[in-house]
Chains A and B, each alone.
Chain A
Amino acid sequence: MKSTHAFKADHITAGYDQTTILHDVNVSIPSNKISIIIGANGCGKSTLLKTMARLIKPVSGQVTIGGKPIHKIPSKQLARVLGLLPQTPIVPEGITVADLVGRGRFPHQKFLKGWSKEDYEAVSEAMEIMNITEFADRHIDELSGGQRQRVWIAMALAQQTDILFLDEPTTYLDITYQVEILDLLTDLNRKYGTTIVMVLHDINLSARYADHIFALHEGQLVAEGQPSKIVTSSLIESIFGLHCTVINDPISGSPYVIPIGRHHSKLRKHS
């Protein structure tokens, strides 16, 4: 079982260059749960994720893990606790699947040393979880988008961190693969207790797969909590500006957002 960490963002203000995107955000990540950050384009979802994963240095405020500011923890040491899969990582030319997954072992490897027994075990386990063992010696360029994404997640798993961040892991994937990836991540959370924090675009998949949702609007945290408690038509209206109705997902019972739009409505009048 993965360890529990008090992982917090305290009064974070952050952005790129001169533009401030996040304004004074306080977030405490629930341990061993799946948290999903939702919000409209440009609301600061990715910025929050990246700031918490030390990819962006906040203008003010700090991110702490176990009470310790993350920028004070040595880079490699932090990488053994906290991993992040970026939205668009770059595939090195000619690399095989196993070698790419093996790059996730970097924070565990000693200076100038090759792969240890633990490295091989971690890589093979990560590949089994992601169901890509058969591709071990294939080149990444030969794989489909969904398979590739599984390879990237396997790389992040080989890192064996307690906390795993994913920046839009299902973007550009067909719905089948989106569900497959989210199911695999749920397995990971249920089986090992990995704390997962991700940004997702699809509000309904978010409501189904999240234990905890952070809703951002214009760089501020406007709501957080269990999806069933916080995903309401008024919340969706306020963060996305979308006129909608919320029903219960017939499969999972989680909230399901149905946009109303200007056409196609069978209701004469909606409340």
Chain B
Amino acid sequence: MIKPSIYPILSGRTKRKRRFLFVTTLLSVIAFALCSTMLMLGNTIYPVSDVVRVLLGEQVSGASFAVGTIRLPRMLAGVFAGFAFGVAGHVFQTMLRNPLANPNVIGITAGSSAAAVFSIIVLQASNTFTSIASIVGGLVTVTVIFLLSRSTSFSVGRLILIGIGIQAMLNAIVSYLLMIGQQHDIPTAMRWLTGSLNGAKMEGLYPLILTVLIFAPIIIALGKRLDMLELGEQAATSLGVDTDRTRLFLVVSSVLIIALATAVTGPIAFIAFLSGPIAKRLVGAGFSGIVPAGLVGIILVLASDLVGQFAFTARYPVGVITGIIGAPYLIYLLIRMNQKGDL
């Protein structure tokens, strides 16, 4: 027997749930369409039938190489990195209750880039070594920033300010390295500054795919707890959330997926920063925005990469395009936060 008094609440909530499901499905469809487009489009356009045959493992002359060896890894790199950036960005923005908080701010991307550029220019290391160096660099930087911002009590403001400081320092190191570097190393190094899907290879993708498949479900499972953290430390604790443990799991999982994604694509500008707010605007509050944020991340990366590859006479790496989209949003956000007095 359902009490009639619950109907007003039930109907509102059902409406919000429908919107959430509808938008999430729509985002999945768009992401899927972009994936297919990425496989079909290139110097030669292959029809869907050829693409499907290649994916099923058949040998199709021409298509097998172009689709299987070049476009598929490029697409998968975009999908997993985009998802990782989107999810991790949403986690940090929600947990720190600040739209400016994203993995760039906690230094992970700057740390990864600096370590990778150092490895390329100074150590003349292999790709594998450079990837590992970038992961380690990212993780070390995050740890340093968290330790520095942790005096007697934890403060988001301090974390963000220290993050910005460390980032500036690491960027200076990168600039210096680029100046002393040898000419032929510069293009490889630049990839670590703008982010690009160029040159993604299947064997280089497995660690990222594996990490995302393990840690993204953990983050999604903690979605409700993440939303509870938004009420503030005291309310969340009173409602039975083990706040310290929840935060630890969320931070570690997010940092790992983003470190691995950065090692494959370099830091693709603004994805982590844009995906969460866009997804939230689309699905509304009330349901966990983690998956929609990840889907928006995929869409932004793939769409920007398609634009970068085909919209202009020259080819631009994906990071350049996302940078162009992201910068105005950052300015808009700063203006809005300033008006609300949040800055």
Contact = CB atoms under 8 A, between A and B. Distances in A.
A206 interface: no
B230 interface: yes
Contact of B224 (A92, A109, A123): A109
Contact of A106 (B13, B16, B239): B239
B12 A104 contact: no
A250 interface: no
Contact of B238 (A55, A95, A117, A125): A55
Interface residues of B, number: 33
A182 to B, nearest CB: 21
A79 interface: yes
A136 B9 contact: yes
Given A17-B152, A55-B237, A125-B5, A99 B16 contact: yes
Contact of A137 (B5, B12, B234, B238): B12
B221 interface: yes
B231 A96 contact: no
Interface stretch (B31-39, B176-184, B280-288, B313-321): B280-288
Contacts of B241: 75, 106
Contacts of A77: 240
Interface string A235-246: 000000000000
B285 A117 contact: no
Interface string B211-251: 00000000001001001101111110111111000000000
Interface string A126-140: 011000010011000
Interface stretch (A22-30, A82-90, A184-192, A263-271): A82-90
A121 B3 contact: yes
A270 B224 CA distance: 61
Given A98-B12, A136-B12, A159-B239, A92 B227 contact: yes
B2 interface: yes
Contact of A124 (B5, B221, B235, B238): B5
A94 B228 CA distance: 14
A55 B240 contact: no
B8 interface: yes
Interface in B1-24: 2-3, 5-6, 8-10, 12-13, 16
B319 to A, nearest CB: 28
Contacts, number: 108
Contact of A103 (B10, B228, B234): B228
B97 interface: yes
Contacts of A90: 97, 230-232, 235
Contact of B232 (A17, A54, A76, A88): A88
Interface in A97-151: 98-99, 102-104, 106-107, 109, 111-112, 115, 117, 120-121, 123-125, 127-128, 133, 136-137
A45 interface: no
A45 to B, nearest CB: 15
Contact of A75 (B97, B153, B230, B240): B240
A86 B285 contact: no
A136 B6 CA distance: 11
Nearest to A123: B9
A78 interface: yes
A109 B240 CA distance: 11
Q: 7 closest Cβ contacts across the A-B interface?
A: A79-B240, A86-B234, A107-B240, A76-B240, A94-B285, A84-B238, A137-B12
Interface of A: 17, 50, 53-55, 75-80, 82-86, 88-90, 92-96, 98-99, 102-104, 106-107, 109, 111-112, 115, 117, 120-121, 123-125, 127-128, 133, 136-137, 159, 165
Interface of B: 2-3, 5-6, 8-10, 12-13, 16, 97, 152-153, 221, 224, 227-228, 230-235, 237-242, 280, 284-286
